[in-house]
């Protein structure tokens, strides 16, 4: 029940970058969303594990992945930013999305504010599918569902007209 964005659709993707920059203040998602909306060349570069994510609280430290949470490298000098994997799981749905010829991919989407799980069933959405796998706690997210942040939460993007599943965004 999906449309998808495949590699290289940079024109469409760039439009979402700034919108997603404000997702719930969850730096990891936040940052990933931005990254994934960049052209493929940059994605590969940015997915390098040496890429640094800046702490949203002190704006100086680097986000480190611990055993049960993300934290700030400046914790020793007073920054108490922490975001547990448990919280990420609580604020997100774990979706299974049918991309037709590409198969079914799992995704973690932070859209609980505006959607019940029932109304998501069968809904067509737009997603980036060349993101690679990302661990969200113990959940493996295989694609990125696109949305925009509005007043009350994240609103999903969808095609204006109903389409067949698995179509590429042009």
Contacts with Zn ion by CB under 5 A lie at 55, 57-58, 61, 72, 74, 79, 81
Nearer to Zn ion, 69 or 79 (CB): 79
Which residues, other chains included, contact 119 with Cβ-Cβ below 8 Å and sequence gap of 6+?
A: none
Nearer to Zn ion, 84 or 130 (CB): 84
3-state secondary structure at position 133: coil
CB of 86 to Zn ion, least distance (A): 20
- The answer to whether 154 and 111 are in contact (CB under 8 A) is yes
CB of 64 to Zn ion, least distance (A): 10
CB of 72 to Zn ion, least distance (A): 3
Nearer to Zn ion, 66 or 132 (CB): 66
Burial letters 86-110, b for 16+ CB under 10 A, else e: eebeebbbebebebeebeebebbbb
Residue 123 CA: distances (Å) to CA of 23, 65, 99, 101, 166: 21, 33, 12, 18, 13
Nearer to Zn ion, 14 or 65 (CB): 65
CB of 52 to Zn ion, least distance (A): 12
């Amino acid at each position: 029940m999906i449309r998808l964005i495949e590699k290289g659709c940079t024109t469409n993707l760039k439009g979402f970058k700034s919108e997603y920059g404000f997702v719930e203040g969850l730096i990891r998602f936040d940052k990933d969303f931005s990254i994934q909306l960049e052209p493929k060349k940059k994605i590969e570069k940015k997915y390098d594990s040496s890429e640094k994510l800046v702490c949203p609280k002190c704006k100086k430290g680097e986000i480190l992945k611990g055993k049960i949470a993300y934290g700030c490298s400046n914790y020793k000098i007073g920054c108490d930013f922490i975001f547990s994997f448990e919280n990420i799981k609580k604020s997100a749905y774990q979706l299974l999305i049918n991309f037709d010829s590409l198969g079914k991919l799992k995704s973690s989407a932070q859209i609980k504010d505006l959607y019940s799980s029932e109304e998501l069933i069968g809904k067509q959405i737009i997603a980036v599918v060349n993101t690679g796998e990302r661990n969200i706690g113990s959940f493996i997210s295989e694609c990125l569902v696109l949305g925009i942040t509005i007043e009350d939460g994240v609103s999903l993007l969808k095609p204006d007209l109903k389409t067949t599943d698995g179509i590429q965004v042009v």
